[in-house]
Amino acid sequence: MDATTAMYVAQGIHGIAYGMLLFLVASGLTLIFGMMGVLNIAHAAFFMLAAYFCYQVLAWTGSFWLALLLAPVATAVVGVVVERFLLRRVHAFGHMGELILTVGVMLVIMDGVKALWGTQNLPVRIPKALEGLVNIGGMEYPIYRLFIIGLSLLVLGSLSLVLYKTRLGMVVRAAVSDADMVNALGINVPVLFMLVFGAGTWLAGIAGVAIAPILTVFPGLADQIGMDAFIVVVVGGFGSLGGAFLVSMICGLLSSYGVQFLSQLAPVLMFIFMAVVLAIRPMGFFGERE
């Protein structure tokens, strides 16, 4: 493989790896925003919180694998508490109430991590099993980025299986369409939505742990990926897991190749992409016209 081809391939894999991370965040937002109709502005803050939890578990135990297991669960618990005791009380006020509340939750989380961990960058070390490079067609590529791609594919497969092949997924999708009817059948819809909200924050937590060794942990981590995740959900179509995956891949590749070949336009390429798609399909790629 010559140097030019290797560069194109490397940038492509970088883009796929970032797109997969973006999908992990956006898939949780798709569940919460797209399927439940909850305008969760704090979603990126949960993503950042998980990265801090990862750092702390790693500091206590020295095990990245334990951090990958525990940090997303701790993030999901925070999400469940927020939904049960805060969000549920403002549903009657519609999206404006949700917007104000989740902005408040976001600010509390951002100030909370600064108070507990400070404002400095906190490094998270890649586990030894995932350090180093692997040879791909004569090109050396970081093993950890390939791990992120594999982890994201595993989450995508598991999430699709649960949502579309199990009774639980059928109940969730039915509750989204007609909550009153599902409630009349004896299913506790508020508890169901609380669990969905927890699952969404758990997905953001996995992404937060996965990205921590690459970007380090710092208070601005939420800003770095939060807007991209919202673009993915809007362009993919609210509630569409397949749309979120497709647009995540496109945005990842736009980001990677944009930095390489259109460095001055790179920061706005995703916004241009969003504007073009929404001008043609206002409901997104896989969204349904209401």
Among 94-98, 206-210, 213-217, 244-248, the minimum mean pLDDT is found in: 94-98
pLDDT value, residue 258 = 87
Q: For tokens 């409901």, what's the residue?
A: 283
Ramachandran class of 21: left when φ > 0, alpha when ψ lies in -120 to 50, beta otherwise: alpha
Structure confidence by residue, pLDDT tens digits, 158-189: 888 888 888 888 887 777 667 777 778 788 88
Q: Which residue type, as a one-letter code, is found at position 12?
A: G
Q: Among 3.40.630, 1.10.3470, 3.30.70, 3.40.50, name the CATH number for the domain at 3-280.
A: 1.10.3470
Domain boundaries, the chain: 3-280
The percent of residues in the chain predicted with pLDDT above 90, rounded, is: 40
| CA gap 52, 25 in Å, rounded | 16
Mean pLDDT, range 81-100, rounded to an integer: 87
Helix (H, G, I), strand (E, B) or coil at 274: helix
DSSP run (H or E) holding 73: helix 64-82
Tens of pLDDT along 31-68? 887 667 787 889 999 999 999 999 999 999 999 999 99
> Which band of pLDDT confidence, cut at 50, 70 and 90, is reported for residue 130?
very high
Predicted confidence at residue 250, as pLDDT, reads 93
